[in-house]
Structures are given as structure tokens and as C-alpha cells.
Amino acid sequence: MITAFYPADYTATGPKAIFNLFRRNRIRIEHLYCDAVALKSITYERYRGHINWTSVDRFISGHRSRILCREGTQLPAERGYRRFESNELNLRLCENAALFLLRNSKADHVSTALIDDTGESAGLCAYLAEETDRVTVVTKNPRLYLSEADRLLEERGAVITVSKTDSPLKTADLIIAPAPLMRDLHCAADAVILSASVPTVAQNTPVISGYSIELPEKYSAVKPDYLDDMYFASAMYALAGAHELGSSIFRRCTDGVTIHTRQSLIELLKKRLEQAPVGSGSYHGAVTAGLPQQCKAPNLSA
């Protein structure tokens, strides 16, 4: 069961407020179903006074720590209420965007750098190495990648460069940073940076971190109107096992200022490749495992 909450404010001031004196706040419940997923949508219609959270408690049950609601909704933290948030789907869309770009750039020598200190994106390397011969992993924990890189070198003949310093970023054409960027990368101004999170430290190069997909009809049919499509998709992916969403390719993406289509992002990378100095990005690629098992390989065609 997934629970969504919306406080509908019908309070009024002035002469109109007198009509609300004869109306009582009420809770409206709607049950929606998609495949094996049950969604409970709770709307609190408030005409006067404050929200009676004791009344809401009866319907929230044990889901108060992962409530689906609009951003900015005031929830009583002292009662254990928490807004659901997950970056899992955005991470998959970031990785898929990188593979899509490499496949559709029509170039074999795109210098690609993956920044990962946790090893959580190790599976991406295998796919990157299939698209370009220049893959470098920049990590503070090289041991997380070295053993897997050795195994894949032996089994596939694939090679990656593992670096503890940021020096490979200076000549990278495409940079993938799944985690929030907490330092200045000092990369080329026209490099394409893909991330799953908005950077915590401002970068001199735009960082694309917001991705949107078309929500499949079966999910849009049960999505409450008060929830954003991508927020709802992230809940379906993380809470309802809708792993097919993890193989999606973005329709739009943004760095917070500019909105890109698939084609405009391809052109952005091509422009970088045309202007990059000859011989830049001499870090030869190779690889580790694959994308997590619950994610099917995305369709990377434009």
C-alpha cells in the first residue's frame, strides 16, 4: 500500500468566511489500483481551523514515514510524518542518459569519466566501455573498482583507468557524477556533465541533473492530480517495484536554466567533440559489471 496526502485549503477571509462556519472539515479517501499496487489517496478538506492530525492518523496507518505529498506540504514531524523522497529513479535516468549520448554521438573516442566514491555505479562501466574506448573512473576508493576491472580485463579484454585524482576530468568530454558534486571539478567549460543530484558546490560548467520521462498510461491513470509526474514515477519505482521505469530514456532534461531535448543534448556533446583539443582524453576505457539486475538495458536509439 502506498499512501498519498493532500491538504485542500478552502478557508476564506472577510464576508465569505461566514459560510464556512457551517461547514466541517472532512477527510476524503480514494483507493486506486495498478497491477499489484494499491494507492490510498487522502484529501483533507479544510474549511476552518487547523488540520486534525489525530483524525488523519487513522487513515495513514504505518505509512507516515513515507507519505507522498506535494513539495512544501507541512507535515507534523513530531508525529513521525515524513515526505517520501527517493533519488533511485533519477540515478537510473542519469546513467541511461550517458549511454544514450554515447550511442548517438556516433563517435568512438569520447573521453568519459565516471565519478564514484562508493562503487554503487560500478555496473555502469561495462556499458560505457561498449560505447567508447576512453573510460576513466575517478574515485577516492580505487579498491572498489580495481578487482572488478581486473576480472573484466581477463574475461572480456576490457580495460578501464582508475584514478584517485581529478586530473582526468580536465580533458573529459562527458562526465557522469551520480552523487551530488561537493567540489569544483575544474573540467572543460564545454564538457557535458550528467548527475543524479543538484550539485552542492556551484560549478563553472552547467550540470544536468533533472530528467523527465513520459509516465506510462497505467501509472498516470492512478496518479493523483496533486502529485508531479516524476515524483510519482520515483515512488512507483522505489516503493511499487515498477522497475521498467528504470530502463526509460529521458524526454527532457535540465541544468536548472536550460531545458534540453534528446537531440539538443546530443548536439551539445557533438559540439564539445568538435572543439576538444586533439589527443585530449587519453584515458583508455574498460569496465566492470552491468546495470543492477532489476533494471533492463534501456533502448538507446534516438
Can you give the pLDDT at residue 294?
38
Can you give the pLDDT at residue 153?
81
Can you give the pLDDT at residue 286?
33
Can you give the pLDDT at residue 300?
59
DSSP conformation class of 237: H
Rounded CA-CA distance 101/133 in Å is 15
Helical ranges in the chain per DSSP H: 17-20, 53-60, 88-104, 124-131, 143-156, 217-220, 229-239, 262-275
Secondary structure tally for the chain: helices H, strands E: 8, 12
Place of cell 483533507: 44
Can you give the pLDDT at residue 285?
34
Can you give the pLDDT at residue 277?
64
Q: Is 289 helix (H, G, I), strand (E, B) or coil?
A: coil
DSSP string, 44-110: EEESSS---HHHHHHHHGGGGGGBB--TT----GGGT--B----HHHHHHHHHHHHHHHHHTT-S--
Can you give the pLDDT at residue 183?
92
Rounded CA-CA distance 172/134 in Å is 9
Can you give the pLDDT at residue 209?
94
Can you give the pLDDT at residue 289?
33
Can you give the pLDDT at residue 15?
61
CA-closest candidate to residue 81, choices 92, 65, 95, 69: 65
Can you give the pLDDT at residue 159?
76
pTM of the model: 0.85
Rama region for 241: left / alpha / beta (φ>0; ψ in -120 to 50; rest)? left
- Report angle CA 247, 253, 259 to the nearest 5 degrees: 160
- CA distance from start to end of the chain: 36
Average pLDDT for runs of 10 along the chain of length 302? 92 58 83 90 89 94 92 95 96 96 89 93 88 90 84 78 93 94 93 95 93 95 96 96 94 95 96 74 35 44 54
Rounded CA-CA distance 24/92 in Å is 45
116 contacts: CB under 8 Å, gap ≥ 6: 122, 137, 138, 139, 144, 145, 178, 179
Phi, psi of 75 (to 5 degrees): -115, 145
- Domains, the chain, in order of start with CATH, read 2-79 (no CATH), 88-213+248-275 (3.40.50)
